């Protein structure tokens, strides 16, 4: 029996077999595969086996096994959009800020004022995300200074990064600026205002002066200023 590979390779079982005429029952292997055809030798004495013909138009080397492509990691996120948690919300307007504070109930609310161009904000961001994850009952509201300059000016924000803590009827509990080196200031504020079990009543939200400043710029309705003042007086009276 002889084996012939059309790609240019020939193999013979022995010298004696190589001297014999190739029988019709010879075994032929082509350089490509797809269909298999078996034909019986016309002379059983010459070849007791069967002829295997492999033919097709595609070369063997064209068959390459490829692993499924996996989706590339999302690298389009900007630094202030990374590592966010469910209790971290990007504020889109002054009205959303007011509503978020009023609807927070007795939860601690942290206002995080930042700028994409602030190196200190960028360095501090991963740690703020970690603290947000460790305090799921607190609400972290992110405010992009570059997108809300009028609102930040109305709230008297002069330095970045800057934080304000609000909780229940107390309204603003504290405000400060800190960096990566002074992160302990942030942790201490969380421990003091975030774990208190004292009942504080309905959320007060922004101070009346802050609401008035926002309303004067047309960022919120003036009705919110009057309503907030009445609600706060009612809460104070009920506590007494």
Q: Could you say which of 47, 118, 152, 178 is catalytic? A: 118
The answer to whether residue 121 is catalytic is yes
What's the chain look like in SS3?
Answer: CEEEECCCEEEECCHHHHHCCCCCCCEEECCCCCEEEEEECCCCCCCCCEEEEEECCCCHHHCCCCCCCCCCCCCCCCHHHCCCCCCEEECCCHHHHHHHHHCCCCCEEEEEEECCCCHHHHHHHHHHHHHHHHCCCCEEEEEECCCCHHHHHHCCCCCCCEEEEEEHHHEEEEEEECCCCCHHHHHHHHHHHHCCCCCCCCCCCCCHHHHHHHHHCCCCCCHHHHHHHHHHHHHHHHHC
Q: Could you say which of 47, 121, 152, 178 is catalytic? A: 121
User: Which residues are known to be catalytic?
Assistant: 118, 121
């Amino acid at each position: 029996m002889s084996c012939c590979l059309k790609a240019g390779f020939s193999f013979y079982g022995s010298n004696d077999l190589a001297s014999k005429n190739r029988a019709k029952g010879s075994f032929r292997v082509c350089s490509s595969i797809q269909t298999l055809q078996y034909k019986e030798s016309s002379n059983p004495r010459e070849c007791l086996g069967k002829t295997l013909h492999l033919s097709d138009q595609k070369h063997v080397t064209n068959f390459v096994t490829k692993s499924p492509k996996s989706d590339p990691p999302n690298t389009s996120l900007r630094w202030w959009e990374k590592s966010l948690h469910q209790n971290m919300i990007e504020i889109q307007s002054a009205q959303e800020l007011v509503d978020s504070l009023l609807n927070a109930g007795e939860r601690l609310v942290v206002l995080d004022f930042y700028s994409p161009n602030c190196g200190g904000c960028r360095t501090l961001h991963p740690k703020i995300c970690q603290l947000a994850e460790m305090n799921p009952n607190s609400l972290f509201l992110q405010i992009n200074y570059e997108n809300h300059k009028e609102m930040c000016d109305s709230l008297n924000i002069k330095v970045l990064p800057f934080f304000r803590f609000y909780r229940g009827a107390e309204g603003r509990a504290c405000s400060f600026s800190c960096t990566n080196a002074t992160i302990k200031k942030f942790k201490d504020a969380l421990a003091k205002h975030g774990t208190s079990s004292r009942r504080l009543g309905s959320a007060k939200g922004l101070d009346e002066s802050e609401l008035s400043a926002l309303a004067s710029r047309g960022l919120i309705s003036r009705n919110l200023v009057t309503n907030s003042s009445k609600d706060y007086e009612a809460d104070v009276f009920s506590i007494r």
